[in-house]
Structure 1
Amino acid sequence: MKALVYHGPKQKSWEEMPVPVIRQATDAVVRITKTTICGTDLHILKGDVPEVTDGRILGHEGVGVVVETGTAVSNFKKGDRVLISCITSCGKCSYCKKGMYSHCEDGGWVLGHLIDGTQAEYVRIPHADNSLYHIPDNSDEEALVMLSDILPTGFECGVLNGKVKPGATVVIVGAGPIGLASLLTAQFYTPSEIIMIDTDDNRLAVAATFGATHIINNVKENAVEKVKRIAARGADTVIEAVGIPATFELCELLVAPGGTIANIGVHGKKVDLHLENLWAHNITITTGLVDTVTTPMLLNIVHSKKLNAKQLITHRFALSDIIIAYNTFEQAAKEKALKVILNNT
């Protein structure tokens, strides 16, 4: 089969790899029909995730068709159409029993990280019964790819961890796909203001169409001053959706006393925590990987068309054109790219 293989920082290639096989009785092998590229993949290629080793197939999102199952798999069979979760869960360990699937003792974020991932024609899914979801009949597979990672991540790590409430003021720093996913799902809770901050005017314009009440280009404007004009005491929830020191430190300046900073971004460098300013402000800072506990709920919402996940998609490519797709995604501002869909037909 063909797959996108990582060969160290800034090195990747579309090459021939062995078709995955069942290794454990709880495994399934899935033929990928649609996948995508994540900002985390770009962090890997920058060298920000050193656990990813030379020869790893990247990718942790997608939908497909089951082609083989291990003897212990009971919820899925050959021919089933499935959504692949970015998080692998055994369902039995102490962390899984707490709903902390991201810390599963035999799983967590492993696809495209510690084991081969979904940017390939086939992928092996460990603990298939707990790591796959049946796709409802007549569902739009492109929209469902957004449920592998970005929608549950934006919702759980941003909105839920950020304690978004009705009438609250929310600031989201970063209008990329994850920030926009937070914007879409924050509206479940009817905050009074959702302020999007980014350096890309196109992404800010998209955010306005998705429901942002205010947009700020923090290259052209002083973001702190403008937010304070909207909400004098600062924001109740500030969501960091970029993953660089400057954006996290901006969040520290924007959070109101008693507020929450919810970090989503993947940080490859140290960030200064200004406790000399924040020690008495009663703030909460949350971090974490997505646990995907909300995926079944989001699946129902997207399937019922109460949430338009497909609007996050801007570009489509054949899976075999994945190098071109990466070039497009890496030049998001120039190409006006959000999420890309890779079709394996």
Structure 2
Amino acid sequence: MEAFALIERNRAEIIDLPKPVLGSPYNAVLTPVAVSVCTSDVNTVYGSGSKKPDNLILGHEAVARVIKTGEKVKDFKEGDIVAVPSMTPNFHDKDIQDGNFLHAGANFSANTLGRSTPGVFAREFEVADADLNLARLPEGVSLGNGLMCTDMATTGFTGAERVNFGDTVAVLGIGGVGLMAICGAALRGAGRIIAVGSRRASIPLAYEYGASEVISYKDHNIVEYVLKATAGKGADVVIIAGGNDRTFSDAIDMVRYGVGKVVNLKLFTGDGSMEIPKFSSGRGMSGKSIYMELGKGGRVRMERLLAMVKYKRFAPEKMITHTFNRFENVVEALQLMKDKGNDVIKTMILTGW
């Protein structure tokens, strides 16, 4: 079958690989209808992370059609169109009973598609625990909206879940995750939402999704801006969805003492340290909280997001700036996400399968 796979670091190609075989009676095999390339795919190919398996099939954002189910799958059948969450928790591990959905049994156990196990960029792919991970696409929900829920919306909303109504929120980064963090914060009832970013295509959407203002890190000292905007107190919540190695310490600098929350949704590539500044952390006694998060996964999570789309609470498909009509365009989509021009937010590839 056709599959877009990592051949070696800095090199990914469409190659011929064996079709998946059901590894469990609880699993399903699907064929992708629409896929999207994520910045994480770029990091997998061009980053400096851990060694990946040979010919690893990339991809973790898909709306797909079920083509085969294990004998224990009850709720899905051949032909169903489903959203596939980028995070597929290991529901059979006892750590789930501790609420540890993303790292049950092993670190990053939910975060495997296209990272340590074959991903969705192939004519066929397997998903574990179909009844617990897949979500049927509701009538009236477009492929684009479903696709943007699988990773961007669930990840951005994960950051927004720390927001209380009336909070002042700073969102650092206005790519797909940052835009969804803005949207989620607005839906949670945030008061002022200060967005930081400069990508031209994202700025109008940041306002549409709920930003009060959008400032560029190129034109402002963002810490000074947020502190001045809050009369020196700092933001109630700072959500990191972009930036560089300094952004983590900037977030700590600009969040409130005592009750302030920093939520990191960004992958910091490479080795070294993410520094916590001594002064703005109160030399370790500031009462500021730090959360390091992945997007949440699982069927119920995805069904809730799709319900919000169905009933017009938000429309994540507006982030799709580039649509392609053949699977082979996944190569171009990866390059677009690597180059990150001002006109790019998210891609959608309609596979034609």
With normalisation by structure 1, the TM-score equals 0.93
Contact 1:237 / 1:261 at 8 angstroms: preserved in 2?
A: yes
User: Residue in 1 aligned with 2:286?
Assistant: 281
CA-to-partner distance for each residue in 1:72-116, whole Å, 9 max, x for gaps? 212211111111111223433223234432123384111101110
Which of 131, 134, 139 in structure 2 is aligned with 1:132? 134
Q: Which runs of 5+ in 2 are unaligned?
A: none
Structure 2: which amino acid aligns with 1:305? K
Are 2:217 and 1:215 aligned? no
Quote the Cα distance in structure 2 between the aligned partners of 1:138 and 1:206. 22
1:221 partner letter: H
Residue 138 of structure 1: CA displacement? 3.1
Quote the residue 1:185 is aligned against. 184
Question: 2:304 maps to what in 1?
Answer: 297
Native 8 Å contact 1:84 1:133 kept in 2:
yes
In structure 1, the residue matched to 2:33 is 33
Report the 3-state secondary structure (helix = DSSP H, G, I; strand = E; otherwise coil) of the residue aligned with 2:349.
Answer: strand
Contact 2:3 2:16 in 1 (8 A): yes
Matches within 5 A, 1:302-313: 302-313=309-320
Deviation, 1:7, is 2.3
Question: Which residue in 1 is equivalent to 2:95?
Answer: 95
Q: How many residues align?
A: 341
2:147 is matched with: 145
Partner of residue 165, structure 1: 164
Contact 1:88 1:104 in 2 (8 A): no
Structure 1 pair 202–135 and aligned structure 2 pair: CA distance change class (3 A): closer
Runs of 4+ in 1 over 4 A off after TM superposition: none
State the one-letter code of the partner of 2:102. Answer: S
Q: State how far apart, in whole Å, the 1-side matches of 2:351 and 2:58 are.
A: 16
Q: Is the 8 A contact 1:201 1:217 kept in 2?
A: no
List gaps (5 residues or longer) in structure 1.
none
C-alpha distance in 2 between matches for 1:114 and 1:51: 9
Amino acid aligned to 1:152: T
Deviates more, 1:75-84 or 1:29-38: 75-84
User: What CA distance in whole angstroms lies between the structure 2 residues aligned with 1:201 and 1:275?
Assistant: 35
- Cα deviation for residue 332 of structure 1 reads 2.1
User: Given residue 176 of structure 2, which amino acid in structure 1 is its aligned partner?
Assistant: P
Q: Which moved more, 1:254-263 or 1:72-81?
A: 72-81
Structure 2-normalised TM-score?
A: 0.91
117-126 or 175-184: bigger deviation? 117-126
Secondary structure in structure 1 of the residue aligned to 2:202: helix
Task: Name the CA distance, whole Å, in 2 between partners of 1:127 and 1:53.
Answer: 22
Task: Give the SS at the match of 1:71.
Answer: coil
Deviation at 1:201, TM superposition (A): 4.0
Matched, 1:333 2:338: no
Q: Do residues 197 (structure 1) and 196 (structure 2) align?
A: yes
Letter in 1 for 2:229: I
